[in-house]
Amino acid sequence: MSYLGEDIPKLGFGMMRLPQLEEGGTDIEQVKEMVDVFMAAGLTYFDTARAYEGSEDAIRQAVVERYPRDSFQIATKAAAWAGAKSIEDIEEMFETSLKTLGVDYVDFYLLHNIGNDRTQFFDKYDMWGFVEKQKELGRVKHIGFSMHDVSDVLEKALQDHPSMEFVQLQVNWSDWNAGGVQARECMEVAQKYGVPVVIMEPVRGGTLADPPHGVAEIFANATPKMPPAEWALRFCWNLPNVLTVLSGMSTLEQVQQNVESYKRFQPLTDAEMEVYAAAQEAMATAVAVPCTSCKYCMKVCPMGINIAGIFAAVNRKSQFSFRQGQFWYGFMTREAKGSDCIKCGQCVMACPQHINVVEEVAKAVELFEDPSLEPVGPS
Ligand code: SF4
Ligand code: SF4
């Protein structure tokens, strides 16, 4: 099915984590090989961003300079919250992207990661109006935005900015019913507004390729030869209203595996949907704190602590890795740390799940605010 007048295959090449040379810099020769395998399979969509170091340059060398311009699509993004101080900075970001990519238009241009306190920067410099203008000028074919936030934020953005033609959302079987991302609700909102979705994080940064043991076992029992990464992609390919599904690929082998998975994809059966339901349940029982992210506690916390976010971080640690938990904790406590807790106990009174919030927050502080920890970025 085509969207926005574009017939785009449902596997897109996420170019955030490209192979690196030992001496530093992107391994362009390997990227060329990866691109060739991808294009030979009839796949055409490349996703990058100003923020992905070396990625726009790699696309120019591996794609733009080697294939006819009408044989592929490029999506790139700019983040007004990342250093923009004027509309001139927004213009400069766009011009630099075009120049680095070596193109005179991009197919898809996105406001990068709206939500939380970041949206105000896109408003302040009217980046929304800027992208509309670029579309009128024919320098962008389609305009949209990306976000990792909840469905209310998505709905408000689509109401406020009806010119947005598509959205890029974090969707995967694990986040489908999860409080922090609300993948299912976000997909429903996008469909309600008639806006197709580019799915990102279908394998959740690679973590669903190697899920907790109990979850891996469920997939292995259902189909011994199908790796969990393929289960993750198939869940997204099966969804309606999807423009494409991005998979961040870092090696030639990953491209080959994804291409093979894509070729053999068949719509999911009821029995397979039950496998996902069992995996979601197993994933949920791998949680350390049974927080439902209702945020009742946060409404009464005098210190403005993101308690639900802190527990999401603790659960990421138990479901995936310490590193993921630590990164998420840092992200969720930018405004108030767990250690700002004054132990007033109001949150404990408010929690319908009977969680001893004070105790659990203190445990999280002990885990993630240890001064000897090395800082981490997204994994
Ligand atoms: S005990 Fe701590 S976390 Fe709970 S409401 Fe009071 S300050 Fe907030
Ligand atoms: S009230 Fe309880 S369940 Fe709700 S967000 Fe707070 S800790 Fe989680």
The per-residue DSSP string of 87-104 comes to HHHHHHHHHHHHHHHT-S
Indicate whether residue 299 lines ligand 1 (CB < 6 A).
no
Indicate whether residue 346 lines ligand 1 (CB < 6 A).
yes
Q: Convert the pLDDT of each residue in 130-189 to its tens digit.
A: 999 999 999 999 999 998 878 999 999 999 999 999 999 999 998 898 766 789 999 999
Q: Convert the pLDDT of each residue in 108-118 to its tens digit.
A: 999 998 886 67
Counts of helices then strands in the chain (DSSP H, E): 16, 8
H/E element, 110: strand 106-114
Indicate whether residue 239 lines ligand 1 (CB < 6 A).
no
Q: Convert the pLDDT of each residue in 52-81 to its tens digit.
A: 889 999 999 999 999 999 999 999 998 887
> To the nearest whole percent, how much of the chain has pLDDT over 70?
97
Class of residue 132 by CB neighbours under 10 A (exposed 0-12, middle 13-18, buried 19+): middle
Contact 343, 354 (CB under 8 A): no
Signed CA dihedral, 369, 370, 372, 378: sign only: negative
Residue in 289, 295, 299, 307 to alter for ligand 1 test, most ligand atoms within 8 A of Cβ: 307
- What does DSSP assign to residue 26? B
Q: Convert the pLDDT of each residue in 326-371 to its tens digit.
A: 999 999 999 999 999 999 998 988 876 678 999 999 999 999 999 8
pLDDT at 352: 64
Q: Convert the pLDDT of each residue in 196-245 to its tens digit.
A: 999 999 998 777 888 888 899 999 999 999 999 999 999 999 999 999 99
CB atoms within 10 A of CB 371: 4
- Closest CA to ligand 2's atom 2: 351
Nearest atom (ligand 2) to Cα of 290: 3
Contacts of 320 (CB under 8 A, 6+ apart): 207, 212
Nearest atom (ligand 2) to Cα of 293: 5
Residue in 150, 295, 306, 310 to alter for ligand 2 test, most ligand atoms within 8 A of Cβ: 295
Indicate whether residue 171 lines ligand 1 (CB < 6 A).
no
Q: Where exactly are the structural domains of the chain? A: 11-277, 296-368
What is the number of the ligand closest to the CA of 347? 1
Pocket residues for ligand 2 (CB within 6 Å)? Answer: 291-297, 307-308, 311, 350-351, 353, 355, 357
CATH number of 11-277: 3.20.20.100
- Closest CA to ligand 2's atom 3: 291
Q: Give start and end residues of each alpha helix (H) in 76-227.
A: 87-101, 119-124, 127-136, 151-160, 183-192, 213-222
Indicate whether residue 344 lines ligand 1 (CB < 6 A).
yes
pLDDT at 377: 61
